[in-house]
């Protein structure tokens, strides 16, 4: 499907993409960009790609597909850095967790913005780094594409994700960021703050519920700081609504309104059942 693919940001998501791509399309040559000497040595040792280079030009100049798997603020930066090296028909995708700002950056920075396809595979792990790469990460995962479905580049990327075992749905970038604030970004904030709230001396007495609620609090702080910052307007709205619900619940407890609490829990049960 693609003769040569460049991976910029070979962490968990980028390295997993490389492994999945190589398994399904073994004739594709994969070139990984290393931003430092340490990452160069690590990627060479792990054999994630056919070639590892510290020259950005080597990754972007002759590749048919460029994959930007970086923190969301760096994706915008690297769109500008690679723009002068790209072939006319090269397709660029990103794997970022926010989309509106990245889409605007692509329209501004790229000579052929119709060749950019915004992608967000809804999978991952609290683990990070190429060492945690998993060739099966994208199998049965939902990948949201935020570029127009009618574009040639978008159609080709849709076929690529399907070939890797993913399911594809389309959203516009603005709607994507609004939805993901509620179902992904806000839950991470709740997990981080719960882990911060509970003293470590309590941990030996914690049951599975605490572990489930705080598992994602071990996620990469820098990555999530970037996501929170870029999608802060949506997050502020969601946090405001969530804090209001907590205040209402607190008020019901203070007044010992058990019937109201029971009704709230019952409503939550009904809303969450379709997810199971």
pLDDT digits (tens, 9 = 90+) for 15-56: 999 999 999 999 999 999 998 889 899 999 998 999 999 999
What's the confidence (pLDDT) of residue 131? 87
- pLDDT, residue 89, reads 94
Helix, strand, coil percentages for the chain (3-state, nearest 5)? 60, 15, 30
Give, as one character, the DSSP assignment of residue 184.
I
| Cβ-contact 99, 177 below 8 angstroms | yes
**What kind and span of H or E run contains 67?**
strand 65-68
- pLDDT bin (cut points 50, 70, 90) of residue 199 is very high
Strand partners, 169: 144
| CATH 1.10.3660.10 domain range(s) in the chain | 175-275
CATH number, domain 4-172: 3.40.50.720
Element (H, E) at 92: strand 91-94
Residue 276 has pLDDT above 70, yes or no: no
Count how many residues are written for the chain. Answer: 276
Mean pLDDT of the chain: 94
State yes or no: pLDDT of 57 exceeds 70: yes
Beta-carbon contacts of 273 under 8 Å, excluding residues fewer than 6 positions away, are none
Query: In which band, very low, low, confident or very high, does the pLDDT at 211 lie, cut at 50, 70 and 90?
Result: very high
Answer yes or no: is pLDDT of 124 > 90.
no
Residue intervals of the chain classified under CATH 3.40.50.720 are: 4-172
Angle 52-70-97 (CA atoms, 0-180°, nearest 5)? 145
Question: What's the rounded mean pLDDT across residues 138-156?
Answer: 97
- The pLDDT assigned to 272 comes to 86
Q: Which has the minimum average pLDDT: 40-44, 226-230, 255-259?
A: 40-44
- Residue 176 exposed, middle or buried by CB count within 10 Å (0-12, 13-18, 19+): buried
β 142-145/116-121 pair status:
antiparallel
- Helix (H) or strand (E) holding 143, with range, is strand 142-145
Per-residue pLDDT averaged across 161-175, rounded?
98
What dihedral do alpha carbons 81, 36, 10, 106 form, nearest 10°?
-10
165-182: average pLDDT: 98
Rounded CA separation 145/60 (Å): 22
Range 146-158 average pLDDT = 97
Per-residue confidence (pLDDT) for residue 128, from 0 to 100: 80
Tally of CB atoms within 10 A around 83: 16
- State which fold the 175-275 domain adopts: 6-phosphogluconate dehydrogenase C-terminal fold (1.10.3660)
**Are the beta carbons of 48 and 20 closer than 8 angstroms?**
no
Query: In this predicted structure, what is the pLDDT of residue 107?
Result: 96
Return d(Cα 96, Cα 181) in angstroms, integer: 13
What is the pLDDT, as a whole number, of residue 214?
96
């Amino acid at each position: 499907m693609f003769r040569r693919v460049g991976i910029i940001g070979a962490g968990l998501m980028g390295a997993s993409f490389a492994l999945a791509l190589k398994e399904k399309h073994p004739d594709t040559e994969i070139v990984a960009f290393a931003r430092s000497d340490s990452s160069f040595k690590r990627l060479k040792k792990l054999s994630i790609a056919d070639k590892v280079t510290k020259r950005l030009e080597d990754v972007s100049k002759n590749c048919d597909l460029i994959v930007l798997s970086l923190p969301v603020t760096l994706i915008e930066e690297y769109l500008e850095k690679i723009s002068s090296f790209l072939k006319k028909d090269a397709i660029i995708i990103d794997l970022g967790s926010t989309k509106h700002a990245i889409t605007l950056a692509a329209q501004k920075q790229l000579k052929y913005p119709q060749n950019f396809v915004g992608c967000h595979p809804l999978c991952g792990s609290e683990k990070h780094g190429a060492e945690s790469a998993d060739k099966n990460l994208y199998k049965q995962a939902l990948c949201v594409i935020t570029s127009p479905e009618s574009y040639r580049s978008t159609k080709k990327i849709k076929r690529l994700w399907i070939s890797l075992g993913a399911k594809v749905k389309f959203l516009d970038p603005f709607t994507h960021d609004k939805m993901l604030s509620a179902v992904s970004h806000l839950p991470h904030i709740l997990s981080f703050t719960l882990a911060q709230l509970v003293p470590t001396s309590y941990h030996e007495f914690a049951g599975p519920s605490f572990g489930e609620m705080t598992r994602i609090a071990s996620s990469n702080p820098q990555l999530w700081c970037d996501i929170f910052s870029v999608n802060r307007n949506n997050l502020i709205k969601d946090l405001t609504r969530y804090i209001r619900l907590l205040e209402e619940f607190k008020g019901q407890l203070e007044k010992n309104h058990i019937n109201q609490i029971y009704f709230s829990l019952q409503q939550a049960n009904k809303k969450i059942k379709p997810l199971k």
